[in-house]
Structure 1
Amino acid sequence: MPHVHSADGTVIGYDRLSDDGPALVLVGGGLDDGAENRPLGEHLADRFAVVTYRRRGRGDSGDSRPYAVGREVDDLAAVIDAAGGRAHLFGASTGGALALEAAAAGLPVDRIAVHEVPYQVDDAMVSAWQAYRRQLDVVLDAGDVDEALRLFMRLAGSTEQDIAGAEAAPVWPALRALAPTLRYDAACLGDGPPPAHRLARVRQPVLLTTGIAIDPHMTGLPVDFFGAAADAAVLADARRHTLEVEGHVADPAVLGPVVEAFLTG
């Protein structure tokens, strides 16, 4: 697998899914080692030069300390450079927040598509988010990655039955390995609400997509949680699109044509 070196020397692993067309870099969200966006990337690979990568602390990418969102922006800058020097971005969930932070920081980005960025918009969710961040720091500092995962799943609206099922599933050990990066995703979202002063610096066209309903494993979230978050993200040139599917990881056969039409528009 190819690698790039970020500004602080961290090695970042990436995959090039295709070579022809405008460059498109896919940015993964929470508990994703880069695999979650791959089906979407393969769907778009006949139209774009698609690159997907493993964010720091995931898979074969390094994890230099101390962590800072600015360092993740530098990682993405290195990947964009490897992709050809300029790129469109697609970001899923907290990866969407990171993509917007990168654009606000002035990276050479063209159009940006983000799916279900979990900004917090009502007072109860903002309070829950800030309590989660404090508790997450405590349990990760104690090395309790299992409790970190449980905290995350509860915040995301999972039931205790969902959590027990996940702990018994074969994927749990892989999630435990990724659990320390929950702190990184939390940092990308900051205090919770959309960061108006930074989003104001994003001048590129941005597509914000959400599903028609909450993911069945997120039933504890408020109704239209992601739609409200997308609507609250004030951007200079924003387009909204609601997909006729449910699920936080959207079906690439549904999401792909919408993203392609926007990026080529």
Structure 2
Amino acid sequence: MTERIDGHTILIGLMAYPIRHSMSPTMHNNAFAKLGLNYAYLAFDVTAEKLPAAINALRTLDMRGSNISMPNKQKVIPLLDKLDPAAEMVGAVNTIVNDDGVLTGYTTDGIGFMKALDDEGIDIRGHKMTLAGAGGAGTAIAVQAALDGVSELSIFNLHDAEWDNAVRNVKLINERTDCHATLHALEDRDDFKAEIQDSFIYTDSTGVGMKPLEGQTLIDDPSWFRKDLVVFDTVYAPRMTKLMAVAQAAGVEHVFNGLGMMLEQGAAAFKLWTGEDMPVDYIHQILFDDETDAAN
């Protein structure tokens, strides 16, 4: 690292709170080193109260950009100059690019989801997806999938704090894309099962299956799944979630966790800042060399 830093090093940040646990600095700095790029990526504890000053510093220090995570993904929007169309629809930003003082906000979570599937040879464009969850990840996935050509989208959510966001998502997708989106109550188990069985892919973006809900799943009956269904769980820790185990017990051929999505959303941000492709396979080895991703 010290061999690469000099008077010309370009700084990129990560602004969130808390954030010291993040794998993003390891991911990006190793990618910069591998490609011989004179960039450095640092994590900054930035609360919502400190966010305006932090964004001003991004301009003042001529940083190339920054990743943004909770609790700042929505709060940063009024502080930016422009939004990518997907970020505007999602209503959240996880990546900022600074072009000579003009700050543009992007969301790369949905891009990461679509690219992770492409990497596995799975093309869901023109097909129907059933999606559980309308939080941050679910919204980004729904919007990007609709923009990229998924033909039909059935979104399931509980009648909780995210229900209104799900209503908004469906409205925007139907107004601004060619995808037909519908909203369903997750409490209606018969409807949930029927929509999954009528889909090309089922995606769980709820976080059920990760701590503190490790070992839990929205679906514990293998009969819900066809062998030719694609099952995608956005959780990547643990590598094998309860949902994935149920799908595999049903003989589902294509079962994936969120590891590929996590790596590819970082790669999308890397491309926006540098114009270069992140060496994803190399980064996977560094971060997860002693583990398997439990995906088929």
Please give the TM-score of this superposition, normalised by the length of structure 2.
0.33
Q: Larger relative CO (CA 8 A, sep 6+): 1 or 2? A: 1
Greater helix content = 1
Structure with greater Cα Rg:
2
Please give the TM-score of this superposition, normalised by the length of structure 1.
0.36
